[in-house]
Structure 1
Amino acid sequence: MKAERLEAISRAASSDSVLLTDEVSSGVCWHSTQHLEQPVAYDVVLPAGLHLAVGLATLKTSAGRQGEFTLPGMGLTAVYCAEDVQATTRLAAGPNRSCGLMLPTGDTQEDHVQQVIRRLREGPAMRATSSVPAAVLDRLCAPLDPWFQGHARAMALEARSLELMAVVWTWLNGEAAPVEPPSRHILHAHRARELLETQLAAPPSLARLARQVGVNVRTLTDVFRSQFGMSIASYVTRRRLQIARDHLLEGLSVSAAAHRVGYAPAHFSNAFQRQFGIRPQAFVRAMPTGACEMPDGANDA
Protein backbone atom coordinates (compact mmCIF):
# COMPACT_ATOMS: atom_id res chain seq x y z
CA MET A 1 0.00 0.00 0.00
CA LYS A 2 1.42 3.36 -0.97
CA ALA A 3 1.06 6.31 1.38
CA GLU A 4 -0.23 8.31 -1.59
CA ARG A 5 -3.49 6.33 -1.47
CA LEU A 6 -3.99 7.41 2.13
CA GLU A 7 -3.25 11.02 1.24
CA ALA A 8 -5.90 10.89 -1.49
CA ILE A 9 -8.46 9.66 1.04
CA SER A 10 -7.49 12.43 3.44
CA ARG A 11 -7.89 15.10 0.77
CA ALA A 12 -11.33 13.75 -0.08
CA ALA A 13 -12.36 13.91 3.56
CA SER A 14 -11.30 17.49 4.27
CA SER A 15 -8.92 20.10 2.90
CA ASP A 16 -7.74 21.03 6.42
CA SER A 17 -6.98 17.45 7.45
CA VAL A 18 -3.52 16.77 8.84
CA LEU A 19 -2.32 13.30 7.88
CA LEU A 20 0.93 11.69 8.99
CA THR A 21 1.96 8.39 7.40
CA ASP A 22 4.81 6.03 8.20
CA GLU A 23 5.85 2.72 6.70
CA VAL A 24 5.84 -0.23 9.09
CA SER A 25 6.77 -3.84 8.43
CA SER A 26 3.19 -4.87 7.71
CA GLY A 27 2.00 -1.85 5.74
CA VAL A 28 1.34 1.84 6.46
CA CYS A 29 0.56 3.33 9.86
CA TRP A 30 -1.26 6.69 9.82
CA HIS A 31 -2.50 9.39 12.16
CA SER A 32 -4.93 12.18 11.30
CA THR A 33 -6.33 15.23 13.07
CA GLN A 34 -8.87 17.71 11.79
CA HIS A 35 -11.61 20.08 12.86
CA LEU A 36 -14.61 20.33 10.58
CA GLU A 37 -16.79 23.41 10.69
CA GLN A 38 -19.52 21.58 8.76
CA PRO A 39 -20.37 17.92 8.06
CA VAL A 40 -18.80 16.44 4.94
CA ALA A 41 -19.66 13.52 2.68
CA TYR A 42 -17.09 12.02 0.35
CA ASP A 43 -16.47 9.02 -1.91
CA VAL A 44 -13.16 7.18 -1.91
CA VAL A 45 -11.73 3.92 -3.16
CA LEU A 46 -10.57 1.60 -0.39
CA PRO A 47 -7.57 -0.33 -1.76
CA ALA A 48 -7.60 -4.10 -1.48
CA GLY A 49 -6.32 -5.28 1.86
CA LEU A 50 -6.98 -5.02 5.59
CA HIS A 51 -7.94 -1.62 7.04
CA LEU A 52 -7.91 -1.09 10.81
CA ALA A 53 -8.67 2.23 12.47
CA VAL A 54 -9.57 3.81 15.78
CA GLY A 55 -11.22 7.21 15.87
CA LEU A 56 -12.62 9.92 18.08
CA ALA A 57 -15.27 11.00 15.59
CA THR A 58 -18.87 10.59 14.51
CA LEU A 59 -19.24 9.04 11.08
CA LYS A 60 -21.01 6.54 8.88
CA THR A 61 -19.36 4.56 6.08
CA SER A 62 -21.00 2.27 3.52
CA ALA A 63 -19.40 0.24 0.76
CA GLY A 64 -22.01 -1.69 -1.19
CA ARG A 65 -21.84 -5.43 -0.62
CA GLN A 66 -19.06 -4.97 1.93
CA GLY A 67 -21.61 -3.50 4.34
CA GLU A 68 -21.59 -0.37 6.47
CA PHE A 69 -20.73 0.84 9.96
CA THR A 70 -21.38 3.81 12.22
CA LEU A 71 -19.24 5.38 14.95
CA PRO A 72 -21.21 7.41 17.53
CA GLY A 73 -18.31 9.64 18.61
CA MET A 74 -15.52 7.14 19.19
CA GLY A 75 -14.73 3.56 18.32
CA LEU A 76 -12.83 0.93 16.36
CA THR A 77 -13.34 -0.25 12.78
CA ALA A 78 -12.06 -3.18 10.76
CA VAL A 79 -12.55 -3.66 7.02
CA TYR A 80 -11.27 -6.33 4.66
CA CYS A 81 -11.44 -5.79 0.89
CA ALA A 82 -10.51 -8.60 -1.46
CA GLU A 83 -10.33 -5.96 -4.19
CA ASP A 84 -10.57 -2.17 -4.47
CA VAL A 85 -13.96 -1.04 -3.12
CA GLN A 86 -15.86 2.22 -3.59
CA ALA A 87 -16.97 3.62 -0.22
CA THR A 88 -19.03 6.61 0.91
CA THR A 89 -18.44 8.30 4.26
CA ARG A 90 -20.42 10.97 6.07
CA LEU A 91 -18.38 12.73 8.75
CA ALA A 92 -19.97 14.95 11.41
CA ALA A 93 -18.72 18.45 12.17
CA GLY A 94 -16.36 18.99 15.08
CA PRO A 95 -12.94 17.78 16.23
CA ASN A 96 -11.84 14.41 14.88
CA ARG A 97 -8.77 12.33 15.62
CA SER A 98 -7.94 8.93 14.25
CA CYS A 99 -5.14 6.51 13.58
CA GLY A 100 -4.99 3.31 11.63
CA LEU A 101 -3.12 0.58 9.87
CA MET A 102 -3.50 -0.34 6.22
CA LEU A 103 -2.11 -3.70 5.15
CA PRO A 104 -2.19 -4.26 1.39
CA THR A 105 -2.92 -7.60 -0.25
CA GLY A 106 0.30 -9.54 -0.56
CA ASP A 107 1.81 -8.16 2.65
CA THR A 108 -0.45 -10.00 5.08
CA GLN A 109 1.37 -13.29 5.65
CA GLU A 110 1.67 -12.94 9.44
CA ASP A 111 -0.51 -15.49 11.22
CA HIS A 112 -2.30 -12.97 13.44
CA VAL A 113 -3.17 -10.85 10.39
CA GLN A 114 -4.51 -13.87 8.52
CA GLN A 115 -6.65 -14.80 11.51
CA VAL A 116 -8.16 -11.30 11.65
CA ILE A 117 -8.94 -11.54 7.93
CA ARG A 118 -10.58 -14.93 8.45
CA ARG A 119 -12.74 -13.47 11.21
CA LEU A 120 -13.90 -10.72 8.90
CA ARG A 121 -14.63 -13.21 6.14
CA GLU A 122 -16.80 -15.21 8.53
CA GLY A 123 -19.20 -12.29 8.98
CA PRO A 124 -19.60 -8.71 7.77
CA ALA A 125 -16.45 -7.51 6.04
CA MET A 126 -16.96 -4.05 7.54
CA ARG A 127 -17.34 -3.93 11.30
CA ALA A 128 -17.26 -1.31 14.05
CA THR A 129 -17.54 -1.23 17.82
CA SER A 130 -17.73 1.47 20.46
CA SER A 131 -17.06 -0.95 23.31
CA VAL A 132 -13.28 -0.36 23.42
CA PRO A 133 -12.32 1.61 26.58
CA ALA A 134 -12.01 5.33 25.90
CA ALA A 135 -8.54 5.46 27.44
CA VAL A 136 -7.29 2.84 24.95
CA LEU A 137 -8.70 4.76 21.98
CA ASP A 138 -7.33 8.04 23.26
CA ARG A 139 -3.85 6.55 23.66
CA LEU A 140 -3.85 5.06 20.18
CA CYS A 141 -5.02 8.33 18.62
CA ALA A 142 -2.36 10.41 20.39
CA PRO A 143 0.58 11.58 18.22
CA LEU A 144 3.76 9.56 18.58
CA ASP A 145 6.06 11.08 21.18
CA PRO A 146 8.73 13.09 19.26
CA TRP A 147 11.28 12.01 21.86
CA PHE A 148 11.60 8.86 19.71
CA GLN A 149 13.87 9.52 16.74
CA GLY A 150 15.54 7.44 14.03
CA HIS A 151 15.46 3.71 14.65
CA ALA A 152 13.70 4.24 18.00
CA ARG A 153 10.86 5.99 16.18
CA ALA A 154 10.51 3.06 13.80
CA MET A 155 10.35 0.70 16.78
CA ALA A 156 7.71 2.87 18.48
CA LEU A 157 5.62 2.86 15.30
CA GLU A 158 5.82 -0.92 15.13
CA ALA A 159 4.68 -1.04 18.74
CA ARG A 160 1.75 1.27 17.95
CA SER A 161 0.68 -0.87 14.99
CA LEU A 162 0.97 -4.05 17.06
CA GLU A 163 -1.12 -2.53 19.86
CA LEU A 164 -3.81 -1.60 17.34
CA MET A 165 -3.75 -5.14 15.98
CA ALA A 166 -3.99 -6.48 19.54
CA VAL A 167 -7.06 -4.32 20.21
CA VAL A 168 -8.72 -5.62 17.02
CA TRP A 169 -7.78 -9.19 17.92
CA THR A 170 -9.28 -8.81 21.42
CA TRP A 171 -12.49 -7.37 20.00
CA LEU A 172 -13.02 -9.89 17.18
CA ASN A 173 -12.18 -12.89 19.37
CA GLY A 174 -14.35 -11.78 22.28
CA GLU A 175 -11.43 -11.75 24.70
CA ALA A 176 -12.12 -8.33 26.20
CA ALA A 177 -12.92 -7.92 29.87
CA PRO A 178 -16.67 -7.56 30.52
CA VAL A 179 -17.89 -3.98 30.31
CA GLU A 180 -21.18 -2.44 31.26
CA PRO A 181 -23.54 -1.63 28.40
CA PRO A 182 -23.32 1.95 27.07
CA SER A 183 -25.28 4.42 29.16
CA ARG A 184 -28.25 6.16 27.64
CA HIS A 185 -26.41 9.34 28.60
CA ILE A 186 -23.48 8.68 26.27
CA LEU A 187 -24.65 11.40 23.88
CA HIS A 188 -24.70 13.87 26.77
CA ALA A 189 -21.00 13.26 27.36
CA HIS A 190 -20.19 13.94 23.71
CA ARG A 191 -22.39 17.03 23.71
CA ALA A 192 -20.57 18.29 26.80
CA ARG A 193 -17.23 17.76 25.07
CA GLU A 194 -18.45 19.72 22.04
CA LEU A 195 -19.54 22.61 24.27
CA LEU A 196 -16.24 22.60 26.15
CA GLU A 197 -14.30 22.78 22.89
CA THR A 198 -16.00 26.11 22.12
CA GLN A 199 -15.36 27.56 25.60
CA LEU A 200 -11.92 26.29 26.59
CA ALA A 201 -10.46 29.72 27.42
CA ALA A 202 -13.35 30.38 29.83
CA PRO A 203 -15.00 27.03 30.53
CA PRO A 204 -18.44 26.94 32.18
CA SER A 205 -18.94 25.63 35.69
CA LEU A 206 -20.02 22.02 36.07
CA ALA A 207 -23.50 23.14 37.08
CA ARG A 208 -23.85 25.36 34.02
CA LEU A 209 -22.45 22.71 31.68
CA ALA A 210 -24.85 20.12 33.08
CA ARG A 211 -27.79 22.49 32.53
CA GLN A 212 -26.66 23.13 28.94
CA VAL A 213 -26.48 19.39 28.29
CA GLY A 214 -29.70 18.57 30.12
CA VAL A 215 -28.57 16.22 32.92
CA ASN A 216 -27.54 16.59 36.55
CA VAL A 217 -23.91 17.18 37.53
CA ARG A 218 -23.34 13.70 39.00
CA THR A 219 -24.63 11.93 35.90
CA LEU A 220 -22.59 14.14 33.59
CA THR A 221 -19.33 13.74 35.50
CA ASP A 222 -19.73 9.96 35.75
CA VAL A 223 -20.57 9.37 32.09
CA PHE A 224 -17.91 11.85 30.90
CA ARG A 225 -15.21 9.97 32.82
CA SER A 226 -16.47 6.60 31.56
CA GLN A 227 -16.42 7.80 27.94
CA PHE A 228 -13.18 9.76 27.86
CA GLY A 229 -11.13 8.21 30.64
CA MET A 230 -10.70 11.45 32.60
CA SER A 231 -12.62 14.04 34.56
CA ILE A 232 -14.12 17.12 32.91
CA ALA A 233 -11.55 19.32 34.67
CA SER A 234 -8.67 17.16 33.44
CA TYR A 235 -10.05 17.25 29.91
CA VAL A 236 -10.27 21.04 29.93
CA THR A 237 -6.74 21.39 31.32
CA ARG A 238 -5.34 18.95 28.81
CA ARG A 239 -7.00 20.58 25.80
CA ARG A 240 -6.08 24.13 26.88
CA LEU A 241 -2.44 23.15 27.20
CA GLN A 242 -2.45 21.27 23.89
CA ILE A 243 -3.78 24.38 22.17
CA ALA A 244 -1.22 26.57 23.96
CA ARG A 245 1.52 24.22 22.79
CA ASP A 246 0.28 24.61 19.22
CA HIS A 247 0.38 28.40 19.61
CA LEU A 248 4.00 28.16 20.74
CA LEU A 249 4.79 26.08 17.67
CA GLU A 250 3.17 28.80 15.55
CA GLY A 251 5.57 31.38 17.00
CA LEU A 252 3.55 33.03 19.76
CA SER A 253 5.36 34.10 22.91
CA VAL A 254 4.84 32.16 26.11
CA SER A 255 2.75 34.95 27.65
CA ALA A 256 0.63 35.34 24.51
CA ALA A 257 -0.01 31.60 24.28
CA ALA A 258 -0.98 31.55 27.96
CA HIS A 259 -3.47 34.38 27.56
CA ARG A 260 -4.99 32.79 24.46
CA VAL A 261 -6.12 29.80 26.52
CA GLY A 262 -7.07 31.71 29.66
CA TYR A 263 -3.97 31.19 31.83
CA ALA A 264 -1.93 33.67 33.84
CA PRO A 265 1.72 33.23 32.72
CA ALA A 266 2.93 32.04 36.15
CA HIS A 267 0.22 29.38 36.46
CA PHE A 268 0.68 28.45 32.81
CA SER A 269 4.35 27.55 33.24
CA ASN A 270 3.62 25.13 36.08
CA ALA A 271 0.65 23.55 34.30
CA PHE A 272 2.62 23.16 31.07
CA GLN A 273 5.42 21.37 32.90
CA ARG A 274 2.99 19.01 34.64
CA GLN A 275 1.39 18.18 31.29
CA PHE A 276 4.45 17.85 29.06
CA GLY A 277 7.38 17.46 31.46
CA ILE A 278 9.09 20.66 30.30
CA ARG A 279 8.73 24.38 30.99
CA PRO A 280 7.24 26.35 28.08
CA GLN A 281 10.33 28.54 27.93
CA ALA A 282 12.53 25.45 27.56
CA PHE A 283 10.14 24.05 24.96
CA VAL A 284 10.46 27.24 22.89
CA ARG A 285 14.27 27.11 23.15
CA ALA A 286 14.26 23.47 22.02
CA MET A 287 12.10 24.08 18.95
CA PRO A 288 14.98 25.02 16.57
CA THR A 289 16.64 21.66 17.32
CA GLY A 290 13.74 19.85 15.64
CA ALA A 291 11.16 19.55 18.41
CA CYS A 292 7.97 20.04 16.41
CA GLU A 293 5.43 18.30 18.59
CA MET A 294 4.97 17.46 22.25
CA PRO A 295 3.26 14.34 23.58
CA ASP A 296 -0.37 14.50 24.58
CA GLY A 297 0.14 12.67 27.86
CA ALA A 298 -1.29 14.28 30.96
CA ASN A 299 -2.06 13.73 34.57
CA ASP A 300 -5.70 12.64 34.23
CA ALA A 301 -6.34 12.01 37.88
Structure 2
Amino acid sequence: MTDTITEAAELGAAELVEVYRSMRTIRVFEERVHAEFATGDIPGFVHLYAGEEASAVGVCAHLDDRDSIASTHRGHGHCIAKGVDVKAMMAEIFGRRSGACNGKGGSMHIADLSKGMLGANGIVGGGPPLICGTALAGKLAGNGAVSVAFFGDGASNQGTTLEAMNLASVWNLPAVFVAENNGYAEATASTWSVAADNIADRAAGFGMPGVIVDGFDFFAVHEAAGEAVARAREGGGPTLIEVKLTRYYGHFEGDQQTYRGDEVARARERTDCLARFRARVCESGQVAAAELDRVDGEVAALVDEAVTEARAAAKPTEADLHTDVYVAY
Protein backbone atom coordinates (compact mmCIF):
# COMPACT_ATOMS: atom_id res chain seq x y z
CA MET A 1 0.00 0.00 0.00
CA THR A 2 1.06 3.59 -0.57
CA ASP A 3 1.34 5.77 2.49
CA THR A 4 -1.38 8.16 3.52
CA ILE A 5 0.56 11.23 2.37
CA THR A 6 0.56 9.85 -1.17
CA GLU A 7 -3.11 9.02 -0.77
CA ALA A 8 -3.82 12.62 0.26
CA ALA A 9 -1.98 13.92 -2.78
CA GLU A 10 -4.19 11.80 -5.06
CA LEU A 11 -7.27 13.72 -3.94
CA GLY A 12 -7.73 17.19 -5.40
CA ALA A 13 -8.60 20.25 -3.35
CA ALA A 14 -12.27 20.15 -4.33
CA GLU A 15 -12.51 16.48 -3.36
CA LEU A 16 -10.83 17.12 -0.02
CA VAL A 17 -13.29 19.91 0.74
CA GLU A 18 -16.22 17.61 0.01
CA VAL A 19 -14.73 14.91 2.23
CA TYR A 20 -14.46 17.45 5.02
CA ARG A 21 -18.01 18.65 4.37
CA SER A 22 -19.35 15.11 4.68
CA MET A 23 -17.47 14.39 7.91
CA ARG A 24 -18.36 17.78 9.40
CA THR A 25 -22.02 17.27 8.48
CA ILE A 26 -22.08 13.95 10.31
CA ARG A 27 -20.43 15.48 13.39
CA VAL A 28 -22.72 18.52 13.57
CA PHE A 29 -25.81 16.46 12.78
CA GLU A 30 -25.06 14.03 15.59
CA GLU A 31 -24.19 16.72 18.11
CA ARG A 32 -27.48 18.46 17.30
CA VAL A 33 -29.48 15.22 17.58
CA HIS A 34 -27.80 14.67 20.96
CA ALA A 35 -29.00 18.08 22.12
CA GLU A 36 -32.49 17.76 20.63
CA PHE A 37 -33.04 14.29 22.08
CA ALA A 38 -32.50 15.74 25.55
CA THR A 39 -35.58 17.95 25.06
CA GLY A 40 -37.81 14.89 24.82
CA ASP A 41 -39.15 15.79 21.37
CA ILE A 42 -37.47 12.91 19.50
CA PRO A 43 -39.32 9.60 19.84
CA GLY A 44 -37.67 6.20 20.21
CA PHE A 45 -34.00 5.33 20.62
CA VAL A 46 -31.03 7.18 19.16
CA HIS A 47 -27.53 5.78 18.66
CA LEU A 48 -24.96 8.41 17.61
CA TYR A 49 -22.08 7.98 15.17
CA ALA A 50 -19.92 10.96 16.24
CA GLY A 51 -16.22 10.08 16.34
CA GLU A 52 -16.51 7.46 13.61
CA GLU A 53 -16.89 9.82 10.63
CA ALA A 54 -13.70 8.77 8.84
CA SER A 55 -15.00 5.23 8.42
CA ALA A 56 -18.29 6.02 6.68
CA VAL A 57 -16.84 8.80 4.53
CA GLY A 58 -13.62 6.96 3.73
CA VAL A 59 -15.59 4.00 2.39
CA CYS A 60 -18.49 5.78 0.71
CA ALA A 61 -16.19 8.20 -1.12
CA HIS A 62 -15.58 5.32 -3.54
CA LEU A 63 -19.26 4.56 -4.13
CA ASP A 64 -21.97 5.98 -6.37
CA ASP A 65 -25.73 5.53 -6.76
CA ARG A 66 -25.43 2.11 -8.42
CA ASP A 67 -23.70 0.83 -5.27
CA SER A 68 -25.56 -0.29 -2.15
CA ILE A 69 -24.78 -0.13 1.54
CA ALA A 70 -26.42 -1.77 4.53
CA SER A 71 -26.09 -0.03 7.87
CA THR A 72 -26.61 -0.67 11.57
CA HIS A 73 -28.64 0.85 14.40
CA ARG A 74 -25.85 3.51 14.46
CA GLY A 75 -26.59 4.54 10.91
CA HIS A 76 -26.81 8.34 10.61
CA GLY A 77 -23.20 8.64 9.49
CA HIS A 78 -23.56 5.99 6.82
CA CYS A 79 -26.70 7.69 5.49
CA ILE A 80 -25.03 11.08 5.21
CA ALA A 81 -21.87 9.63 3.65
CA LYS A 82 -24.00 7.83 1.03
CA GLY A 83 -25.82 11.03 0.11
CA VAL A 84 -29.18 10.74 1.87
CA ASP A 85 -30.81 14.15 2.27
CA VAL A 86 -29.99 15.65 5.66
CA LYS A 87 -33.35 17.42 6.06
CA ALA A 88 -35.25 14.24 5.24
CA MET A 89 -33.15 12.40 7.81
CA MET A 90 -33.82 14.95 10.53
CA ALA A 91 -37.54 14.88 9.79
CA GLU A 92 -37.48 11.10 10.01
CA ILE A 93 -35.75 11.20 13.38
CA PHE A 94 -38.43 13.61 14.62
CA GLY A 95 -41.10 11.22 13.29
CA ARG A 96 -42.51 13.57 10.63
CA ARG A 97 -44.33 12.73 7.41
CA SER A 98 -41.69 14.63 5.43
CA GLY A 99 -39.06 12.20 6.69
CA ALA A 100 -37.04 9.83 4.52
CA CYS A 101 -39.44 7.02 5.48
CA ASN A 102 -42.52 9.18 6.05
CA GLY A 103 -41.83 9.32 9.77
CA LYS A 104 -42.40 5.60 10.27
CA GLY A 105 -38.85 4.34 10.65
CA GLY A 106 -37.18 6.75 13.00
CA SER A 107 -33.49 6.88 13.79
CA MET A 108 -32.77 3.16 13.45
CA HIS A 109 -34.53 2.56 10.13
CA ILE A 110 -33.61 5.39 7.76
CA ALA A 111 -33.43 4.18 4.16
CA ASP A 112 -33.21 5.71 0.69
CA LEU A 113 -33.05 3.17 -2.13
CA SER A 114 -32.49 5.95 -4.68
CA LYS A 115 -29.12 6.51 -3.04
CA GLY A 116 -28.37 2.83 -2.58
CA MET A 117 -28.97 3.12 1.15
CA LEU A 118 -30.70 -0.17 1.99
CA GLY A 119 -31.45 1.00 5.48
CA ALA A 120 -30.20 1.32 8.99
CA ASN A 121 -31.10 -1.83 10.89
CA GLY A 122 -32.24 -2.55 14.42
CA ILE A 123 -31.18 -6.20 14.00
CA VAL A 124 -27.58 -6.84 15.01
CA GLY A 125 -25.98 -8.52 12.01
CA GLY A 126 -29.01 -7.81 9.83
CA GLY A 127 -27.10 -5.99 7.10
CA PRO A 128 -24.50 -8.48 5.77
CA PRO A 129 -27.06 -10.93 4.31
CA LEU A 130 -28.81 -8.04 2.55
CA ILE A 131 -25.73 -6.99 0.64
CA CYS A 132 -25.21 -10.52 -0.62
CA GLY A 133 -28.50 -10.08 -2.46
CA THR A 134 -27.66 -6.71 -3.97
CA ALA A 135 -24.11 -7.84 -4.78
CA LEU A 136 -25.48 -10.86 -6.61
CA ALA A 137 -27.86 -8.59 -8.52
CA GLY A 138 -24.95 -6.38 -9.52
CA LYS A 139 -22.87 -9.36 -10.59
CA LEU A 140 -25.66 -10.76 -12.75
CA ALA A 141 -26.39 -7.33 -14.26
CA GLY A 142 -22.71 -6.82 -15.02
CA ASN A 143 -22.97 -3.14 -14.14
CA GLY A 144 -19.95 -2.99 -11.82
CA ALA A 145 -22.08 -2.33 -8.75
CA VAL A 146 -20.53 -3.04 -5.36
CA SER A 147 -22.34 -3.66 -2.08
CA VAL A 148 -20.98 -2.75 1.36
CA ALA A 149 -22.12 -3.91 4.78
CA PHE A 150 -21.17 -1.87 7.84
CA PHE A 151 -21.42 -3.77 11.13
CA GLY A 152 -20.03 -3.57 14.64
CA ASP A 153 -17.88 -5.80 16.80
CA GLY A 154 -21.00 -7.32 18.35
CA ALA A 155 -22.37 -8.28 14.94
CA SER A 156 -19.03 -9.87 14.05
CA ASN A 157 -20.07 -12.77 16.30
CA GLN A 158 -23.50 -13.20 14.73
CA GLY A 159 -24.13 -16.17 12.47
CA THR A 160 -25.77 -13.93 9.89
CA THR A 161 -22.51 -12.04 9.41
CA LEU A 162 -20.35 -15.13 9.21
CA GLU A 163 -22.73 -16.88 6.83
CA ALA A 164 -22.89 -13.80 4.63
CA MET A 165 -19.09 -13.61 4.37
CA ASN A 166 -18.93 -17.29 3.50
CA LEU A 167 -21.64 -16.93 0.84
CA ALA A 168 -19.96 -13.85 -0.63
CA SER A 169 -16.76 -15.85 -1.11
CA VAL A 170 -18.49 -18.96 -2.42
CA TRP A 171 -20.35 -16.87 -5.02
CA ASN A 172 -17.39 -14.51 -5.57
CA LEU A 173 -19.61 -11.50 -4.99
CA PRO A 174 -18.62 -7.82 -5.41
CA ALA A 175 -19.00 -7.15 -1.68
CA VAL A 176 -17.07 -5.36 1.04
CA PHE A 177 -17.62 -6.08 4.74
CA VAL A 178 -16.65 -3.21 7.03
CA ALA A 179 -16.38 -4.08 10.72
CA GLU A 180 -16.47 -0.86 12.72
CA ASN A 181 -14.83 -1.95 15.95
CA ASN A 182 -15.46 0.80 18.50
CA GLY A 183 -14.49 -1.52 21.33
CA TYR A 184 -17.93 -2.33 22.69
CA ALA A 185 -21.02 -4.30 21.76
CA GLU A 186 -23.36 -2.08 23.77
CA ALA A 187 -21.42 -2.25 27.08
CA THR A 188 -19.52 -5.50 26.46
CA ALA A 189 -15.86 -5.03 25.52
CA SER A 190 -14.81 -6.70 22.29
CA THR A 191 -11.57 -7.74 23.99
CA TRP A 192 -13.74 -9.98 26.15
CA SER A 193 -16.39 -11.09 23.67
CA VAL A 194 -14.45 -11.57 20.41
CA ALA A 195 -12.23 -14.67 20.44
CA ALA A 196 -9.79 -13.47 17.78
CA ASP A 197 -7.43 -10.60 18.54
CA ASN A 198 -8.68 -8.85 15.41
CA ILE A 199 -11.98 -9.23 13.59
CA ALA A 200 -10.08 -8.96 10.31
CA ASP A 201 -8.19 -12.18 11.17
CA ARG A 202 -11.42 -14.08 10.50
CA ALA A 203 -11.22 -13.20 6.80
CA ALA A 204 -8.78 -16.06 6.16
CA GLY A 205 -11.46 -18.55 7.17
CA PHE A 206 -13.63 -17.29 4.33
CA GLY A 207 -10.91 -17.06 1.69
CA MET A 208 -10.93 -13.29 1.45
CA PRO A 209 -8.40 -10.56 2.29
CA GLY A 210 -8.61 -9.04 5.76
CA VAL A 211 -7.31 -5.53 6.45
CA ILE A 212 -7.02 -3.53 9.69
CA VAL A 213 -7.10 0.26 9.48
CA ASP A 214 -6.91 3.21 11.85
CA GLY A 215 -10.43 4.60 12.01
CA PHE A 216 -9.19 7.99 13.18
CA ASP A 217 -7.36 8.45 9.85
CA PHE A 218 -9.61 9.19 6.87
CA PHE A 219 -6.79 8.58 4.43
CA ALA A 220 -6.03 5.13 5.82
CA VAL A 221 -9.67 4.12 5.53
CA HIS A 222 -9.97 5.67 2.08
CA GLU A 223 -6.94 3.77 0.79
CA ALA A 224 -8.04 0.39 2.16
CA ALA A 225 -11.60 0.88 0.94
CA GLY A 226 -10.40 1.99 -2.49
CA GLU A 227 -8.46 -1.23 -2.94
CA ALA A 228 -11.37 -3.36 -1.72
CA VAL A 229 -13.96 -1.63 -3.90
CA ALA A 230 -11.72 -1.78 -6.97
CA ARG A 231 -11.10 -5.48 -6.36
CA ALA A 232 -14.83 -6.13 -6.07
CA ARG A 233 -15.67 -4.15 -9.24
CA GLU A 234 -13.04 -6.08 -11.18
CA GLY A 235 -14.48 -9.48 -10.19
CA GLY A 236 -11.92 -10.23 -7.49
CA GLY A 237 -14.51 -10.99 -4.81
CA PRO A 238 -15.14 -9.74 -1.27
CA THR A 239 -12.89 -8.14 1.34
CA LEU A 240 -13.19 -7.72 5.11
CA ILE A 241 -11.98 -4.37 6.50
CA GLU A 242 -11.75 -3.82 10.24
CA VAL A 243 -11.84 -0.15 11.19
CA LYS A 244 -10.70 0.50 14.75
CA LEU A 245 -12.20 3.65 16.25
CA THR A 246 -14.04 5.18 19.20
CA ARG A 247 -17.61 6.42 19.46
CA TYR A 248 -17.91 9.69 21.34
CA TYR A 249 -21.32 9.10 22.89
CA GLY A 250 -22.85 6.14 24.68
CA HIS A 251 -24.28 3.09 23.02
CA PHE A 252 -27.62 4.90 23.11
CA GLU A 253 -28.73 8.31 24.34
CA GLY A 254 -29.08 7.91 28.09
CA ASP A 255 -26.27 5.37 28.40
CA GLN A 256 -24.38 6.16 31.63
CA GLN A 257 -21.18 4.64 30.20
CA THR A 258 -19.95 3.25 33.51
CA TYR A 259 -17.97 0.69 31.51
CA ARG A 260 -15.62 3.35 30.06
CA GLY A 261 -12.88 5.47 31.56
CA ASP A 262 -11.22 8.50 29.96
CA GLU A 263 -10.81 6.97 26.52
CA VAL A 264 -13.34 9.30 24.88
CA ALA A 265 -11.66 12.41 26.27
CA ARG A 266 -8.28 11.12 25.06
CA ALA A 267 -9.67 10.35 21.60
CA ARG A 268 -11.25 13.78 21.27
CA GLU A 269 -8.00 15.46 22.32
CA ARG A 270 -5.42 13.35 20.48
CA THR A 271 -6.89 11.42 17.56
CA ASP A 272 -10.10 13.14 16.43
CA CYS A 273 -10.56 12.30 12.76
CA LEU A 274 -11.81 15.77 11.80
CA ALA A 275 -8.98 17.56 13.56
CA ARG A 276 -6.39 15.23 12.01
CA PHE A 277 -7.86 15.67 8.54
CA ARG A 278 -8.01 19.46 8.85
CA ALA A 279 -4.46 19.69 10.12
CA ARG A 280 -3.07 17.49 7.36
CA VAL A 281 -4.72 19.22 4.40
CA CYS A 282 -4.12 22.72 5.73
CA GLU A 283 -0.48 22.16 6.71
CA SER A 284 0.23 20.62 3.31
CA GLY A 285 -1.25 23.66 1.60
CA GLN A 286 -3.83 21.60 -0.28
CA VAL A 287 -6.78 23.41 1.27
CA ALA A 288 -6.96 26.81 2.93
CA ALA A 289 -8.25 26.92 6.50
CA ALA A 290 -10.65 29.69 5.45
CA GLU A 291 -12.27 27.31 2.97
CA LEU A 292 -12.94 24.76 5.70
CA ASP A 293 -14.23 27.53 7.97
CA ARG A 294 -16.72 28.40 5.22
CA VAL A 295 -17.84 24.76 5.12
CA ASP A 296 -18.30 24.82 8.90
CA GLY A 297 -20.69 27.75 8.59
CA GLU A 298 -22.66 26.17 5.74
CA VAL A 299 -23.04 22.88 7.60
CA ALA A 300 -24.18 24.62 10.78
CA ALA A 301 -26.80 26.54 8.80
CA LEU A 302 -28.00 23.38 7.05
CA VAL A 303 -28.48 21.48 10.31
CA ASP A 304 -30.25 24.47 11.89
CA GLU A 305 -32.65 24.56 8.94
CA ALA A 306 -33.16 20.80 9.14
CA VAL A 307 -34.22 21.01 12.79
CA THR A 308 -36.46 24.03 12.26
CA GLU A 309 -38.23 22.40 9.32
CA ALA A 310 -38.54 19.06 11.10
CA ARG A 311 -40.14 20.63 14.13
CA ALA A 312 -42.67 22.46 11.94
CA ALA A 313 -43.52 19.46 9.77
CA ALA A 314 -46.69 17.40 10.16
CA LYS A 315 -46.71 14.06 11.96
CA PRO A 316 -48.15 10.91 10.36
CA THR A 317 -51.90 10.58 10.85
CA GLU A 318 -54.15 7.61 11.55
CA ALA A 319 -54.82 7.39 7.82
CA ASP A 320 -51.11 6.72 7.25
CA LEU A 321 -51.19 3.49 9.26
CA HIS A 322 -52.13 1.35 6.28
CA THR A 323 -49.74 2.92 3.76
CA ASP A 324 -46.23 1.65 3.01
CA VAL A 325 -47.22 -1.83 4.19
CA TYR A 326 -46.80 -3.60 0.86
CA VAL A 327 -44.65 -2.80 -2.15
CA ALA A 328 -46.47 -2.58 -5.47
CA TYR A 329 -44.42 -3.92 -8.38
Using structure 1 for the length normalisation, give the TM-score. 0.28
Quick check: which one's helix share is greater? Answer: 2
Quick check: which one's strand share is greater? Answer: 1
Q: Which structure would you say has the larger RCO, counting Cα contacts within 8 Å and 6 or more residues apart?
A: 2
Using structure 2 for the length normalisation, give the TM-score. 0.27
